[in-house]
Chain A
Amino acid sequence: AQSVAQPEDQVNVAEGNPLTVKCTYSVSGNPYLFWYVQYPNRGLQFLLKYITGDNLVKGSYGFEAEFNKSQTSFHLKKPSALVSDSALYFCAVRDGGSQGNLIFGKGTKLSVKP
């Protein structure tokens, strides 16, 4: 069965420092991987996705993610964190056995302090 894990409930980073939010996955076949961000009392916003091709994917707001097939990971990164990046981040994998449904991780709360 497809699954995705976000091992950290919360990540704390100082403004200006690099940030990493971790995600590992388990799928049969080629993975379709996504990152979404949720600001307080808002819906989810798409950040980036990996379908195929270059292992380093660039997305919105300066975020990027590195696909690592051998480690089955898809970590979200940003070189220099902003206070405004503070939010809840979700990793998701497309359920290959379905019509295209997403399976979400439990989310990681990112807190960026000034």
Chain B
Amino acid sequence: NAGVTQTPKFQVLKTGQSMTLQCAQDMNHEYMSWYRQDPGMGLRLIHYSVGAGITDQGEVPNGYNVSRSTTEDFPLRLLSAAPSQTSVYFCASSYFGGGETQYFGPGTRLLVL
């Protein structure tokens, strides 16, 4: 049971480039989400999904796209990278429900030059 996995661990992009951050979980969780972590700001929700084919925006969705074609995978796409998207990105998953514990991946550190 690998839990939540994320790739890559670290990535450097130039402004305007696009890329996809991968997230996968093997716990059959319905709920998956993407957060970004910036110093002094905690974690902020980018997008989330409550099941395959269902996604919605979080607090800071601009510049990011998501899709959920399977229960296991929830990729995050940066359409045209900007320096403001330099951050650490975390994927999380849980069973669906208000009291369920979210499990986090190890994170992807992104630097946009």
Q: Are B48 and A106 closer than 8 Å at their CB atoms?
A: no
Number of interface residues of A (CB under 8 A): 24
Instruction: For B90, give the chain A residue with the smallest CB separation.
Output: A43
Selecting from A44-52, A65-73, A77-85, the interface stretch reads: A44-52
Whether A46 contacts B103 in the complex (CB less than 8 A), given A90-B42, A100-B94, comes out as yes
Residue A74 at the chain B interface, CB threshold 8 Å:
no
Instruction: For A29, give the chain B residue with the smallest CB separation.
Output: B98
Within 8 A of A (CB), among B59-98: 90, 92, 94, 96-98
Q: With A and B bound together, what is the CA distance between A90 and B7 in angstroms?
A: 24
Residue B53 at the chain A interface, CB threshold 8 Å:
no
Whether A96 contacts B98 in the complex (CB less than 8 A), given A44-B90, A101-B48, A105-B42, comes out as yes
Whether A43 contacts B104 in the complex (CB less than 8 A), given A90-B43, A100-B94, comes out as yes
* Partner among B41, B50, B99 whose Cβ is within 8 Å of the Cβ of A51: B99
* B33 contacts across to A, CB distance below 8 A: 101-102
* Partner among B42, B45, B48, B101 whose Cβ is within 8 Å of the Cβ of A49: B101
- Closest chain-B Cβ to A92's Cβ sits at a distance in Å of 8
**Chain B interface size, under 10 / 10 to 19 / 20 to 34 / 35 or more:** 20 to 34
Instruction: For B45, give the chain A residue with the smallest CB separation.
Output: A101
Q: With A and B bound together, what is the CA distance between A46 and B102 in angstroms?
A: 8
Q: With A and B bound together, what is the CA distance between A104 and B102 in angstroms?
A: 12
Within 8 A of B (CB), among A46-60: 46, 49, 51
Q: Are B43 and A104 closer than 8 Å at their CB atoms?
A: yes
Q: Nearest 3 CB-CB pairs, A to B?
A: A43-B104, A51-B99, A104-B42
A-B contact pairs, 23 of them (CB 8 A): A32-B98, A32-B99, A34-B101, A42-B107, A43-B104, A43-B105, A44-B92, A44-B104, A49-B99, A49-B101, A96-B98, A99-B50, A99-B96, A100-B31, A100-B94, A100-B97, A101-B45, A101-B58, A102-B102, A104-B42, A104-B43, A104-B44, A106-B40
